[in-house]
Amino acid sequence: MIGRLLLLYSIIFYTFSASTPPETTFSLTHAYYHDRRTNSISRYQRHAHASTRQDAFVVKTATHSFSRRVPNVTDRATVISLAKMAYDAYTAIGGDDWYDLDNPSWPINDTFGWQEDGFRGHVFSNDDASILVIAIKGTTAGLFSGGPTGDKDKMNVSWHGRNMTRDLPSCFILGKGLQDNLLFSCCCGRISRVWTPVCECYRGNDYICEEQCLQNTIQKEDLYYDHALAIYRDISDRYETATVFLTGHSLGGALATLVGLTYDAPAVSFESPGDRLAAKRLHLPHGPSALTPIYHFGHTADPIFVGLCTGVSSACWYGGFAIETRCHTGKACVWDTVNSHNWKVNIASHRIGDIIEKILNVPEEFPLPQCRVERDCMDCGLWDFPDNRDTSLVMDLSRHCS
């Protein structure tokens, strides 16, 4: 049971309202899915997965105005606090790499996933558990140097403690072409002929990937996303009146925002790969991006955040990762470190510690960026994703109408 947990006191929360002082509150009309209780969202996703039409997973949500608490992403102390939580998700409580939060009077309590080598993180809370923050671990060990969860991070699949070498097909074993996850690659890690993808959806010699095959593969796998949903549901059920936020770095940040989209929960990610394609493939309901409380912090020297970690010369290639997406849901909050500070695009810049120490802790050089919707952004532009479900529907309608 989650007891008293930890929350850095400097995190600022505000309620959207037009009648409160501007220095502490903001006004915003928020978009949300009308009934996102656990049962209803599960029914929605089952219906979307079972639909015979490709456009079943592009359903937009209804809008409604209401007051709610969200992280104040215009406050630097708030962003630093969330970044430290995302950092701490990589290590056990009190470990050598643990970032001490600034207020020692707040107690440390519970965590999840540290008994196994897969999905991990921590839960932070204020003293009365009215505000909870779920911090989800990202990809281990700078992408490709191993670590206790590195292999599973590449596949983005939880294998329930099974022996990796014994149970995974040979194409998944490190050193034999272990590929990236299903959610952030155009076609299951199909990068070239020397890579073995994690699904058999690639068609022919061109950039063709069968959409229904992708959907079926995602439905069959036991993704970290499913475990993140379970954690969110458990916490929400235990603390029905609490406000729950999510945060994370890299893969952890993308998982945080995907869960946030699923349950209309505020989420703040750091240096996450583009999650828009993953949200589409997971059939997530969504409203207008400008009204969604999802925020992605990153900078232009990070090849994963900006979608440049591709090709034979990239670190992702050598690490066995196929991270090809760059378009984010909600809003992106981007520091232009390349043009404004002459940083070079380098995988070393993807570390969450660099965001904290080299950007957030240097306010005179790096003021907080404005968060904006990524318009005219496209993932996998070279690929075609034919779907015979649409063809079958047209044929059925033709027979009935003839």
Biggest alpha carbon distance in the chain? 74
Q: Name residue 168's amino acid.
A: L
Residue 250 designated active-site: yes
Active-site residue identified among 125, 250, 269, 272:
250
Distances, alpha carbon 313 to alpha carbons 142, 144, 347, in Å:
17, 15, 12
SS3 readout for the chain:
CCCCCCCCCCCCEEECCCCCCCCCCCCCCCECCCCCCHHHHHHHHHHHHHCCCHHHHHCECCECCCCCEEECCCCHHHHHHHHHHHHHCCCCCCCCCCCCCCCCCCCCCCEECCCCCCCCEEEEECCCCCEEEEEECCCCHHHCCCCCCHHHHHHCECCCCCCHHHHCCHHHCCCCCCCCCCCCCCCCCCCCCCCCCCCCCECCCCCEECHHHHHHHHHHCCEHHHHHHHHHHHHHHHCCCCEEEEEEECHHHHHHHHHHHHHCCCEEEECCCCCHHHHHHCCCCECCHHHCCEEEEEECCCCCCCCCCCCCCCHHHHHCCCCCCCCCCCEEEEECHHHHHCCCCCHHHHCHHHHHHHHHCCCCCCCCCCEECCCCCCCCCCCECCCHHHHHHHHHHHHHHC
Angle at 216 between CA 231 and CA 121, to 5 degrees: 20
Q: Which residues are catalytic?
A: 250
